[in-house]
Chains A and B, each alone.
Chain A
Amino acid sequence: MTTTTSGPEALLSHLHSADGSATFSYAGYTIIGAVNGPIEAQRRDELPEEAVVDVVVRPAAGVGGTRERHLEGLLQSTLRQIILVTHFPRSLIQITLQVTIAPENEYVSTKVVQANTTAVLTLMSAAIPLTATLTSVVIAATAEDGSTREIINPTAREIQMSRSLHVFAFTSHGDLILTQSEGEFTMKEWEDILASAQRHCCPSTSGDVSMGDDEASGANLGKFTRIRNDKKAHFEPPNLGVSNSSAVLAALASMGLNRGSPMHLEEG
């Protein structure tokens, strides 16, 4: 069902002046992300008990408009829930996402997925404490002689033909954190699509593995690669705690970064 040809690619910590940075390319998009933080917040913006999360999305050509502001709003409200904002009162965590390559017919919904992943990778590269990581997916539902067909990661053409379009993001605990739906659908359809999104994003994470276990992390890496190869999903959403941060480590290692920064994940 997936029609994109190449798998996701990521490059971490490649910009020298930002605290954390990542480039993520997938499904026709290439987005460069940078995080500065925690830094001093402006007096008028600062919150007395938590950090301000500021997201800036910049398009490849032209100045940002309503689309970018909308996307910024979605990302901001999602990310401030996974960043441990209460650890950094009166400070600012500034996330800049620069789209460098975008497909011709772009939809905000599909961009949310790439932007989310870039943001999470960037936050990890900056060693910002997170409660969980995110995995997101776009699903288009098309009507086919009475029954609905779900298309995971649809192409622009498929989106145009579809009856409704849904975006879901799940935390690594398997909780739904973001949902955006547009088009025509019934509650029953939505629930079905939610279920398949959950299957796609959160494959069973029951097996607890210990950090130091090489075999286990190898298995996780394998799982990550497998997911990368055939399902074109993002890295496996790890459960928190010692168990699955090894998966993230493996994911990061496989992306050429092994500096142990995701260890802070355990703080959650």
Chain B
Amino acid sequence: MPREAEPSQNEKDFILKAVQEGHRLDGRALDHFRQLDLKFGDQYGVADVTLGKTRILAKVTAEVTVPYTDRPFDGIFTITTELSPMASPAFEVNRPTETEVLLSRLLEKTVRRSNALDTESLCLVAGQKCWSVRVDLHVLSHDGNLIDAACLAVVAALRHFRKPDTSMEGETLTVYTPAEREPVPLSWLHSPFCITFSFFGAIQIGEDGEEKDIWLLDTTLLEEQLRVSSCTISMNKHGEICQVAKPGGAPVEAMTIVQCSSLALQKVKDLSDFVDRKLAEDSKHRNKGGLLAELSAENAR
């Protein structure tokens, strides 16, 4: 398979010089995101995220299975990411690249290990039956910042998803079709979002030789190819950090990371509001006659 084309020396020099002077190729400020769009499908649990030219589709499915023997009270929750040649010819089928491994590990840490989805609520009969919730991520177009966009897609799709309602009578479990009972949302505890900072070395500020790290938010593929290191911070809108990942690359000042995390909080709040707004719009659109509240069999907690 062909490798991703590397930017030419002229391109490199131009972009790096521009970034040092505080400019980006597309005219954004260094800490600005590209145009973000989120669309939900007709079915529950389909989210299509467009971030500039990056486009990611997440689809959630649920089925009843047997829980793992060592975790009889927990349901199963998996996130699968597979980058296809559709995103870039450099991605091969059935051979994960480094990007893909990093992406799935980060999503795993951000969404699954931060307990965003309460897996205990997926248990139906302890040790015998549970829901298996699966998120499939399809990267349709890759133009940088896959991590932030993918995390947003996963969170939005899971919050949009409705699983079929069930009831237990004695030993028998009944799973209702959407026609019988309105499907119920997943038990969602908090919404983590990833913010990736890309570092481009340091510049000198002032006379006394003090240095300042340069970093960008929401990099394009070209910028991503030129960065010296990156750091992904995942947190929810309450400022609770789920994970910080800085996989290798050039070292960064500790103070910079602190500054980054406070900026990340601000960005996460924006993203969180954005997803909330889109979900509200979608439910308003679905709930035309105001009937959903009556159809719902969900108990108030």
Give the B-binding residues of A (Cβ under 8 A): 15-18, 21, 32, 34, 36, 39-40, 42, 56, 58, 60-63, 94, 96, 98, 100-101
Contact = CB atoms under 8 A, between A and B. Distances in A.
A262 to B, nearest CB: 22
Contacts of B85: 18, 34, 36, 56, 94, 96
Contacts of A56: 84-85, 93
B243 interface: no
Contacts, number: 67
12 contacts: A16-B53, A17-B87, A40-B2, A58-B82, A58-B138, A60-B136, A61-B134, A94-B89, A98-B84, A100-B59, A101-B42, A101-B46
B41 interface: yes
A135 B86 CA distance: 24
A-B residue pairs, 4 tightest by C-beta: A34-B86, A36-B89, A61-B61, A96-B86
Contacts of B134: 61-62
Contact of A39 (B2, B86, B87): B2
B1 interface: yes
Given A58-B84, A61-B61, A101-B46, 14 more contacts: A15-B140, A16-B53, A17-B88, A21-B86, A32-B86, A32-B140, A34-B85, A36-B85, A39-B89, A94-B85, A98-B84, A98-B138, A98-B140, A100-B57
B262 interface: no
Contacts of A100: 41, 46, 57, 59, 138
A166 B138 CA distance: 31
Contacts of A15: 55, 86, 140-141
A32 B57 CA distance: 11
Contacts of A36: 85, 89
Interface string B12-55: 00000000000000000000000000000111001000000101
Interface in B56-91: 57, 59, 61, 80, 82, 84-89
Interface of B: 1-2, 41-43, 46, 53, 55, 57, 59, 61, 80, 82, 84-89, 93, 134, 136, 138, 140-143
Contacts of A58: 82, 84, 138
Nearest to A19: B89
Contact of A17 (B43, B61, B136, B142): B142
A61 B55 CA distance: 17
Given A40-B1, A56-B93, A62-B134, A98 B86 contact: yes
B6 to A, nearest CB: 15
Contacts of A61: 59, 61, 134, 136
Nearest to A97: B86
Nearest to A95: B85
A56 B87 CA distance: 13
A52 to B, nearest CB: 12
A17 B84 contact: no
Most buried by A among B53, B85, B93, B143: B85
A216 B97 CA distance: 50
A188 B57 CA distance: 46
A17 B2 contact: no
Nearest to A15: B141
B43 to A, nearest CB: 7
